[in-house]
Chains A and B, each alone.
Chain A
Amino acid sequence: MNRIGILDERKSAQATTTIVAAIIIVAIVVGVGVWFLKGPGPKPEKPVEITGLSLSSTSPTKGEEVKAFVDLTNHSATDQSYTFTLKASGENVSTKTVKVEGGKTKRVSVPYTVKENNRTYVFQAGSKRATASVGSPPKLAVVSDIGGRGDLAFNDMAFKGGESAELKLGVKMMPLISSTEEDYLPNLREAARDPDTNLIVGVGYLLSKSLSTVAQEFPNKNFMGIDTYAQSLTENLQPNLMDITFEEHKSSALVGALGALLAAHYDKPHIGAVLGIEIPVLWKFETGYKWGAKWALEKWLPANKPDLAKQISYSKDFVKYTYTGTFSDVAKGYEAAKPMYEKGAVTVYNIAGPLGLGINRAVKERVPKGQEMGPPFWTGVDSDQDWINPGFVIASAMKRVDKGVFLAEKLVKQGKFRSTIRNNDGVITLGIGTEVGGIPVEGVSVSTLANLKEFVKMGVRAEEVTGEKKLPMPPEKIKARVKEMRDAQPDWIWDAVSQLEEKIRSGKPIADLDGDGTPETVPATTTDNAVSYWRDVLG
């Protein structure tokens, strides 16, 4: 090509880019212009305005009468008559003329009988819309935290709750996985925009802010958060938002006592704990675990096994613990647990969801071939993890996230969701001996053989559905191994744990472990100050 040709080409390339750039710049300028023009200008004052439209039921059945509530607000000082029309999917339902007192809001109810199955009615009054779907089952949206399905702990438990709601409450679950924190808001909004959702669940502490935002944007939808503090982020009580929290400190105290007594029995110097990101929820686990261990060695053992008590005592070094800063990096769980076992930890408590698989690896590495049960052990969390490596998981501190999800959906179905929120200031706590509206709901417990059955069954079903291998051995063998392991531990250890559970259930102070002169129950450390106070006491 000659020089002129090259120049031509360069010139034409320049022209192309100029044209494209010009188009884009024009588009931006127009866009910005439109945005500014559309921006909030002074709105013309209307004396009476429709300020709300809600329905008595968003999932009616055919033939059922749905009441549409229309809120009319009179902005002027004098009484006004106002005429509005309610439409259902374009068809006029009723035209009413209503007198509204000056400066007041009036709620008018308009009945409508649904005629057809399998359709969604869009109700409209003025610019307000509300929808009701007939025939199709309402949806329960579950927005996961990062990690999503397959963590065998926290998120999976929430989905399990959704599955039992599908079976028993006739809803359809809509699982939404968050890959990063950026997905929380879009996922929640997507779920809220679906006319069929009657409850939107956000799983995990980190969703709090997003939940409170979206709950305010969609006042007609119901929202529930697991481990969240969303209610505390709103100025007034948000009537459609429920936080469910758990008494993890209590279940942690139980497995702490279990671990400490195992250490006494097997003559080991330590127990361990591998934690995830340092968030207040985990402080509850940490303190509860240490508190239970100290109670077992300082209160229970001297009173019941004085000869053993001479050989072991609680020191600040007794519980080895590490915050790994992750809920997903399994390798970090291995790295943190390995030195704990090397220093003689009899069991390591998994307080980091999927990292339990890393702890399990560390255990497997230490166990000589042919040995079929611990020590060393590890302790499961959230779900019943005893089946992951039968014989080496001494027990699991279960946190029944599934029960929380199921409970919320049940309340929605019974029409009690919002009244429960009002009666409990928006926060429900599930734990040992807790009640919701007079009905006992247990939120945490130490896994039993009966639990194992249920969770192994879940594993079997998962294998059938996915065709993937989930269980390490046949279900019967798992149960036999776990039973054998539990039977191999002396009865007095299990008795001691039950005694502590009874004490906790009674709600009375249990023991004075911090030496301040007054006995306390298991402390729930949710603040910086509380956790550093208890770290001074317990190590």
Chain B
Amino acid sequence: MSDDLFESIASKLRGLAKPLLDTTFAVIIGLLVGALLMWLYGYNPWNAYYYLFKGGFGSLKGIFETLSFATPLMLTGITWLVGWKSGIFNIGAEGQMYMGAIGAVWIGGTAALPAGIHVAAATIVGMLFGLLWALPVAALKVWRGAHEVVTTIMLNWIALFFVRYLIRYQVPMPGNAYRTVPAMETARFPLISEGTTLTAAVFVAIAFCVGIFIFLWRTRLGYEFRLTGANPEAARYAGIDTQRIIFLNLLIGGLAAGLAGSTQVLGRPPVWGLYETLGGVYGLGFTGIGVGIIGRNHPIGAILAAFFYGGLLHGGTKMMAQAGVAGEMMVAIQGLIILAVALPVILPMIREKIASWRG
């Protein structure tokens, strides 16, 4: 029996070693290409990377700030990867997240509720707003066969302009038409450390990811989710209602994205609201796709990938300040590293997808 246990742990470790090695190798390639780029433009790559990683991971405050950047990313990553598990190409996190954010602003900024209940209510309403925005995608997919890529892209744009309208005309801050009312004190997640922007929202986000992990691998429905993605034919043969699975899957994606929007409003000082430009949330949904992929489409992987990505985002500030790397170059370097890390995961995904179309 104990031999079995050893054997199983050993095989686990072996299973873990390959992705870890792959990822490390990919990171090194990305860093080298980035270094080449910086060297060509006359920067000192060694110096730049030193500050990039020192800024992101080199101090407790830096790690807190990194986690703050990571919080919404792991959630939008969940939207993507849960979809992927059932063979859905869900890129709707962006719009669903906007809706979640405005839902959180609505309850957090205008409803007077007792502390504790208020933050929970605002978070949940934000999640439901995300779900609401996923509903047409799910309905059109299941009943009309509309491809989710098309519907989510369209709904992302509708959400963008609709939310901008709401910010400007429904929940603007008096005298400041460019932003919404802030969430009230009672609706804010408590700050974890002074001098950073990290709030307890990060625990909610991690708990959500872990919850999704348990759901996918420890429940019957989660198994049906995964089987629908792995082999839809077999799933149908086994008596699974794959249409129902896809419907539920898109709604869960909406909940995750809505939660991401909520955490950006209720858990991100100093604004505690939205700007008309949507700068605080803009692009997080699409970045989530990268996070999901780097995290190998696994909820726990998404947490780690978001932490890595957040570190690059936050460390970039120090790189810009101390190594004098131009802001645009910083974004290019971040992009290169992400691309390098994502490539070894994307290629098999594409191969798998093509194989599934053929077979």
Contact = CB atoms under 8 A, between A and B. Distances in A.
Contact of B269 (A12, A185, A187): A185
A24 B168 CA distance: 41
B175 A277 contact: no
Given A17-B217, A277-B276, A190 B270 contact: no
A528 B282 CA distance: 28
A91 to B, nearest CB: 25
Of A179, A183, A186, A209, the most chain B CB neighbours within 10 A belong to A186
A411 interface: no
A12 B6 CA distance: 12
Contacts of B203: 28, 32
A185 B270 contact: yes
B15 interface: yes
A17 B302 CA distance: 13
A421 B309 CA distance: 41
Interface in A268-289: 277-280
B320 interface: yes
Nearest to A212: B270
B192 A25 contact: no
A194 interface: yes
A150 B15 CA distance: 49
B100 to A, nearest CB: 16
B177 A182 contact: no
A12 B217 CA distance: 12
Given A25-B210, A179-B331, A185-B269, A16 B16 contact: yes
A191 B55 CA distance: 12
Interface string B272-293: 0001110110110000000000
B176 interface: yes
Contacts of A174: 321, 324
A277 B276 CA distance: 8
A181 B269 contact: no
Given A209-B270, A527-B175, A146 B16 contact: no
Interface in A316-335: 325-326
B321 A191 contact: yes
A183 B298 CA distance: 29
A213 B270 contact: yes
Contacts of A183: 317
Nearest to B196: A189
Contacts of A167: none
A146 B276 contact: no
A393 to B, nearest CB: 27
Contacts of A361: none
Contacts of B12: 12, 15-16, 19
B303 A24 contact: yes
Interface residues of B, number: 52
B47 interface: no
B178 A278 contact: yes
A190 to B, nearest CB: 5
Of A20, A179, A182, A209, the most chain B CB neighbours within 10 A belong to A182
B29 to A, nearest CB: 25
A8 to B, nearest CB: 9
A272 B282 CA distance: 31
Interface string B65-90: 10001000000000000000000000
Contacts of A191: 321
B175 A182 contact: no
A277 B279 contact: no
Given A21-B300, A206-B178, A280-B175, A190 B279 contact: no
A482 interface: no
A500 interface: no
Contact of A179 (B15, B213, B269, B327): B327
B314 interface: yes
Contacts of A149: 326-327
Contact of A12 (B8, B164, B318): B8
Given A12-B15, A13-B15, A278-B178, A206 B213 contact: no
Nearest to A213: B270
Contacts of A32: 203
Contacts of B349: none
Interface of A (DSSP majority class):
helix
Contacts of A432: none
Contacts of B118: none
Contacts of B277: 146, 181, 277, 326
Nearest to A276: B178
A181 B314 CA distance: 13
A190 B197 CA distance: 13
Contacts of A14: 217
A190 B316 CA distance: 11
Interface in B211-228: 213-214, 217
Given A28-B206, A32-B203, A148 B213 contact: no
A326 B275 CA distance: 12
B195 interface: yes
B304 to A, nearest CB: 9
B271 interface: yes
B268 interface: yes
Contacts of B24: none
Nearest to A218: B195
Contact of B321 (A11, A17, A194, A325): A194
Given A12-B8, A15-B12, A28-B203, A176 B177 contact: no
Interface in A166-190: 174-177, 179-183, 185-187, 189-190
B280 A325 contact: no
A279 B321 contact: no
B71 to A, nearest CB: 11
Contacts of B217: 14, 17
B77 to A, nearest CB: 15
A278 B269 CA distance: 23
Given A14-B217, A35-B192, A210 B270 contact: yes
Given A183-B317, A189-B195, A206-B178, A15 B214 contact: no
Interface in B1-56: 8-9, 11-12, 15-16, 55
Nearest to A283: B177
B320 A177 contact: yes
Contact of B271 (A11, A21, A181, A189): A181
Given A174-B324, A177-B320, A182-B280, 17 more contacts: A12-B15, A15-B12, A16-B16, A17-B298, A24-B303, A32-B203, A176-B317, A176-B321, A180-B280, A181-B275, A182-B69, A182-B279, A190-B55, A190-B318, A206-B178, A209-B270, A278-B168
Interface of A: 11-17, 19-21, 24-25, 28, 32, 35, 141, 146, 148-149, 174-177, 179-183, 185-187, 189-191, 194, 206, 209-210, 213, 217, 277-280, 325-326, 527-528
15 contacts: A11-B8, A20-B16, A21-B300, A24-B210, A25-B210, A148-B328, A175-B320, A181-B277, A181-B279, A182-B69, A194-B322, A217-B194, A217-B195, A278-B178, A528-B174
